[in-house]
Amino acid sequence: MNAYTHLEARFKRMNLVRDAIAMLEWDAAAMMPDGGSDARADQLAALKLVVHEQATSPALAEFLDAAGEGQGLDAWQRSNLREMKRSFVHATALPADLVEAQSRAVSTCEMRWRTARKENDFKGLLPDLQRVLDLAREEAQIKAQKFGCSLYDALLDAYEPGGKSAAIDAIFADLATFLPGFIDAALERQARKPAAIPFDGPFPAATQTKLAAELMAAVGFDFAHGRLDTSHHPFCGGVPDDVRLTTRWDEADFAKGLMGVMHETGHAMYERGLPLKWRHQPVGFARGMSVHESQSLLVEMQAARSDAFLAYLAPKAAAAFGKSGPAWTVENFARVYRRVQRGLIRVDADEATYPAHVILRYRLERAMIEGRLALRDLPGAWNDGMRELVGTVPPDDRDGCLQDIHWPGGAWGYFPTYTLGAMTAAQLFDAAKRADPNIVPSIGKGDFAPLMAWLRKNVHEQGSHLDTDALLVKATGKTLDAEIFKAHLKARYLDA
């Protein structure tokens, strides 16, 4: 065995333990009785300690130094080595006591946040959130120095490998200019058309489950390699060969849950389509959060809210629930699924206003990490930003700066990936449709196979071989281009 093959063996071993963690985290959300939570926390901590020891082992450093030159590595092996080094650099960048302090601070702050949000108590959360922010800034300083990048980019890199705020700035500035006028125009046009008619429930969870499973199968989800269950927060968990999706059923309204399942199925198809040959190796993993989100939003926003798919869905849903009438027409499905609203809550936002929520968060978290915004000034800055970007101001912090778990949870630098993902989705779908004119007609028949064939070849099977920019260039001919996303929004919300 040479240094490189040693590395492959060690990463496989470590990533199998990570896979075990992923399965246990799914179980904790979907299956575990409440009384099992302490035991599960102990199990996960023990496994994470194993991974940490493996990820930071001095032997790994030696093999990483020795591997590469003169070992006749092919292009994928070289990419794998690059990703191994990235993994090692991230794993070893921080002193153990900082990691430990972060873990404790986040755990305390998340718990405090649940109460603080309920009680609209930003001041009560402030000390714990300040601690989490201080530690994130400490992390950013250490990593920025080691990686030779800006403070914000040092944090962003954990979610968006190679991501640069300079590029995001340009894209988001363009969007921030475009959105307010666009939202005005979309709302104006919407007001001139008939209002969406609410669906007349109730919708039994069992029927929703059956319909959702049929739609998942239509997208290409293989139930021999995955499951659909319920959890408080929907997510796509498990491992590529055993994907565990979760959702939440609202018996009064099937519409949101159904699209939630389509969203998670997009994530699942990415995981399932990752290159089998590179299973358990870093180069075989999903490229990053923006590409991952692009796959869920491509299925949910681009494909499943298209005219073609809604024409397939509306009669199918009506039949499943045994319903008919004006709410169950294709036209009404389009009105329900494309309703634009100046809302306060990001997770409830529509496709058109969502980027405005994200841009706000990006600006604020970057200012806080760079020390330009004090945490105590966050509520005011939040409300100013909402006025400017979304055109509405929250009446309190509960529905304002307290709404997201990301900052209390220590996920600073994550937010931009949502909108980068939405834009990437538009660009990939645009390229896919041009490459195969059969994609949209097939979606109209509930057959996602042509779309998935294109995605599998151009995205899924690429794993982490290329960086995000190169992946997009290879698949679409150019780097991320805001014009395509804007054209999509205009076509759907202004022209149709």
CA 181 to chain centre: 27
Residue 226 as a binder of its own copies (CB under 8 A): the answer is yes
Q: Binding its own copies by CB under 8 A: which of 85, 131, 137, 227?
A: 227
Residue 6 as a binder of its own copies (CB under 8 A): the answer is no
Q: Quick one: which segment of 29-37, 119-127, 185-193, 347-355 binds its own copies (CB under 8 A)?
A: 29-37
Record the tokens describing residue 226, joined without a space. 């995955």
- Shortest distance, position 242 Cβ to its own copies, whole Å: 3
Residue 25 as a binder of its own copies (CB under 8 A): the answer is no
355-365 per-residue burial string, b: 16 or more CB within 10 A, e: under 16: bbbbbbbbbbb
Record the tokens describing residue 229, joined without a space. 């269950």
Residue 1 as a binder of its own copies (CB under 8 A): the answer is no
Nearer to its own copies, 240 or 257 (CB): 240
What is the spatial distance between Cα 226 and Cα 300, in angstroms, rounded to a whole number? 19
Q: Binding its own copies by CB under 8 A: which of 1, 166, 191, 224?
A: 224
| Radius of gyration of the CA atoms of the chain, in A | 23
- Shortest distance, position 71 Cβ to its own copies, whole Å: 25
Q: Binding its own copies by CB under 8 A: which of 3, 24, 320, 466?
A: 24
In angstroms, how far is the first alpha carbon of the chain from the final one? Answer: 61
- Sign of the alpha-carbon torsion through 386, 390, 394, 400: negative
Nearer to its own copies, 131 or 279 (CB): 279
Record the tokens describing residue 20, joined without a space. 């075990």
Nearer to its own copies, 52 or 316 (CB): 52
Residue 222 as a binder of its own copies (CB under 8 A): the answer is yes
Q: Quick one: which segment of 16-24, 209-217, 311-319, 421-429 binds its own copies (CB under 8 A)?
A: 16-24
The secondary structure of 149-213 as a DSSP string is S-HHHHHHTTTSTT--HHHHHHHHHHHHHHHHHHHHHHHHHHHHSPPPPPP-----HHHHHHHHH
Nearer to its own copies, 205 or 308 (CB): 205
Nearer to its own copies, 47 or 142 (CB): 47
Q: Tell me, yes or no, if 119 is annotated catalytic.
A: no
Residues 55, 244, 287, CA angle at the centre, nearest 5°? 50
- Under 8 Å between Cβ of 172 and 359: yes
- Count, residues near its own copies per rule CB under 8 A: 36
Record the tokens describing residue 487, joined without a space. 């054209």
What is the spatial distance between Cα 283 and Cα 356, in angstroms, rounded to a whole number? 33
Task: Give the amino acid at 25.
Answer: E
Query: What residues between 77 and 136 interact with its own copies by CB under 8 A?
Result: none
- Under 8 Å between Cβ of 339 and 196: yes
Instruction: Say which residues have a Cβ less than 8 Å from residue 155's Cβ, sequence separation at least 6.
Output: 136, 139, 140, 143, 369, 412, 413
Nearer to its own copies, 46 or 166 (CB): 46
Query: What residues between 267 and 286 interact with its own copies by CB under 8 A?
Result: 280
Nearer to its own copies, 3 or 47 (CB): 47
- Shortest distance, position 280 Cβ to its own copies, whole Å: 8
Active-site position among 8, 139, 160, 264: 264
Instruction: Say which residues have a Cβ less than 8 Å from residue 427's Cβ, sequence separation at least 6.
Output: 472, 476, 478, 480, 481, 484, 485
Q: Binding its own copies by CB under 8 A: which of 23, 176, 327, 453?
A: 23
Q: Give me the 294-323 binding string for its own copies, x by CB under 8 A, dash otherwise.
A: ------------------------------
Q: Give me the 341-380 binding string for its own copies, x by CB under 8 A, dash otherwise.
A: ----------------------------------------
Which residues partner with 227 through β-bridges? 244
What is the spatial distance between Cα 160 and Cα 153, in angstroms, rounded to a whole number? 9
- Shortest distance, position 300 Cβ to its own copies, whole Å: 23
Instruction: Say which residues have a Cβ less than 8 Å from residue 235's Cβ, sequence separation at least 6.
Output: 29, 245, 246, 264
- Shortest distance, position 264 Cβ to its own copies, whole Å: 16
Q: Where are the alpha helices (DSSP H) in 345-490?
A: 354-369, 378-389, 416-435, 439-443, 449-458, 468-476, 482-490
Nearer to its own copies, 27 or 169 (CB): 27
- Shortest distance, position 241 Cβ to its own copies, whole Å: 4
Record the tokens describing residue 418, joined without a space. 């949502």
- Shortest distance, position 169 Cβ to its own copies, whole Å: 41
Q: Give me the 34-63 binding string for its own copies, x by CB under 8 A, dash otherwise.
A: xxx-xxx-xx-xxx-xx-------------
Q: Which residues make up the interface to its own copies (CB under 8 A)?
A: 13, 16-17, 19-20, 23-24, 27, 31-36, 38-40, 42-43, 45-47, 49-50, 222-227, 238-242, 280
Supply the residues annotated as catalytic: 264
